[in-house]
Amino acid sequence: MLEHDPSDRALLAQVRPTDWTNPEPAAKYDLVVIGAGTGGLVSAAGAAGLGAKVALIERHLMGGDCLNVGCVPSKGLISAARAWATARGAAKEYAGPPLAAARGDFGAMMSRMRRIRSELSPIDGAARFRDLGVDVFLGDGAFTDSATITVGGAALRFRKAVIATGARAAAPTIPGLDGVPYLTNESIFDLTELPARLVVLGAGPIGCEMAQCFARFGSQVTVIDRGPRVLSRDDADASAVVQQALARDGVTFALGSEVAGVAQEGGAIQVRTRRGGVEATHSCDALLVAIGRAPNVEGLDLERGGVAFTPTGVTVNDRLQTSNADVFAVGDICSPLQFTHAADFQARMVIQNALFFGRGKASNLVTPWATYTSPEVAQVGHTAASAAQAGIAIQSFTVPLHDVDRARLEGETEGFCRIHVRHGSDTIVGATIVAPNAGDMISEVTLCMTNALGLAAIGRTMHPYPTQGEVLRKVADAWRRTKLTPTVKSIFSRYFPLLR
């Protein structure tokens, strides 16, 4: 955070107020939550709303990564980058508007992001949670035994507890990296000037989103990754569309490359890569490390609490229960799916499991995810590759966005909708959407998968025309056409003459 920025000062006044006084602890709490990111906030607010006596502990900033250094600020950058790109590209697609050739004001855009972030901060702020009936403790929380957590000299005894301390950016071991200034998602949003040259290590969601943003702002951007393609967890065709879109925006790639070393030479950072024995050097003014995460387990004294953990985080069972039966964990500290919405729904499940003898299973959650490049990529369930690995026989149905009238009219035809069903049925096992608003569109498929509605249900649902969401109905129609087999056609050919 920037101490001189009024928006950042307003944010800190909400999520880390300097005049905060921790309350006197209750004799015993129904629930003590460590960590005030999404998972912790939902756990605390939900339990308190049901009448439980709740304590919430945060050692840094309430709101966690999502508000402070993740979803919220990154989407502020993405919206600005899209607006600038749309303005510059308008003359190519539409007759009349002037070409917006000049660069935008990077500093003003960053100030806008910080302002909006601060305006959203009261939702996650200490005062709001105090008003919800939660005892908010700011400080370092640690277990002293299996039923007690201390913070600021106060001992909080609990019936149940939730660990929601999340994860943080962790740079990989690269020769010379410790000797150069580099950015992560925790520091890139503090920039006030646009770097002329940016190297991004990592072609995952964060790397791709930031690479495209800064290229659109005017930086010369290079993405380096050891994998052969971007977004390796997503559908390969979706990955190709995104890579082409980033390249068109000016991003260059060094894929299939290992980082051999990093060094500061003069005023520039030199990143050396190696691919198949061939070395290359990439000079930049700023280096973004967008690979590597580490769980926030340090200082919690989990051993004293009887909570098992590994280098990847706290160990939980399918009900999100740790090795201490009275302690649960949610979010990035324990989940391989490190998304804000995953932490949210895990927290809702833990409230039931911890306080009301619920039996909810994390494996039953249908978790979508989205990468907010242009176009966006949204995924839920299996890709074709992961279905094959799981031994699931599928049929896949794909409709390109070019076949959707609204996409044609808006000049946004890159992308597709692909839905996988179990072979011989309409049971949806996964879907990929590549479209300008794919993150919004994927929810219709997630709804079907969560509630055991098949692809036929989407086909029976009227979609407004013209919308890009109509592509989902077109996929369902493609599935339905497979039911018109030669046998069925033969029966119909004999049926209709009988009616004449």
Mean pLDDT across 68-94: 88
Q: In the chain, how long is the greatest CA-to-CA distance?
A: 90
Count of CB atoms within 10 A of residue 75's CB? 15
* pLDDT on residue 267: 87
Over residues 436-484, the pLDDT tens digits come to 999 999 999 999 999 999 999 999 999 999 999 999 999 999 999 998 7
Per-residue confidence at 487, pLDDT binned at 50, 70, 90? confident
Percent of the chain residues topping a pLDDT of 70: 97
Mean pLDDT across 73-97: 83
Give first-to-last CA distance, the chain, whole Å.
Answer: 78
Position 98 pLDDT exceeds 60: no
Over residues 4-37, the pLDDT tens digits come to 899 999 999 999 999 999 999 999 999 999 999 9
* pLDDT on residue 266: 85
Least confident of 50-54, 101-105, 155-159: 101-105
Report whether 415 contacts 438 (CB < 8 A). yes
* pLDDT on residue 86: 87
Smallest CA-to-CA distance from 136 within 20, 233, 309 is with: 20
Half-sphere exposure of 330 (CA within 13 A, CB side): 32
What average pLDDT is seen over the chain?
Answer: 95
* pLDDT on residue 237: 98
* pLDDT on residue 200: 98
Over residues 377-390, the pLDDT tens digits come to 999 999 999 999 99
Over residues 418-437, the pLDDT tens digits come to 999 999 999 999 999 999 99
- Tokens 């100030």 belong to 111
* pLDDT on residue 92: 67
* pLDDT on residue 101: 53
* pLDDT on residue 177: 97
Position 486 pLDDT exceeds 60: yes
Over residues 325-375, the pLDDT tens digits come to 999 999 999 999 999 999 999 999 999 999 998 999 999 999 999 999 999
Mean pLDDT across 85-106: 70
* pLDDT on residue 99: 58
Instruction: Give the containing element (helix H, strand E) for 289.
Output: strand 286-289
In whole angstroms, what is the distance from residue 46 CA to residue 40 CA? Answer: 10
Position 150 pLDDT exceeds 90: yes
In whole angstroms, what is the distance from residue 34 CA to residue 149 CA? Answer: 9
Alpha-helix runs per DSSP H in 249-396: 340-355, 384-389
Q: What angle do CA 30, 335, 324 make, to 5 degrees?
A: 40
- 3-state secondary structure at position 226: coil
Edge-to-edge strand order for the sheet containing 416-422? 368-371, 376-381, 428-435, 416-422, 394-400
Percent of the chain residues topping a pLDDT of 90: 90
Edge-to-edge strand order for the sheet containing 258-265? 258-265, 268-275, 278-284
* pLDDT on residue 151: 98
- Tokens 């998968």 belong to 449
In whole angstroms, what is the distance from residue 106 CA to residue 111 CA? Answer: 9
Least confident of 23-37, 86-100, 288-302: 86-100
| DSSP per position, 396-442 | EEEEEGGGSHHHHHHT----EEEEEEETTS--EEEEEEEETTHHHHH
In whole angstroms, what is the distance from residue 487 CA to residue 500 CA? Answer: 21
Position 173 pLDDT exceeds 80: yes
In whole angstroms, what is the distance from residue 383 CA to residue 236 CA? Answer: 9
Strand pairing category for 376-381 and 368-371 = antiparallel
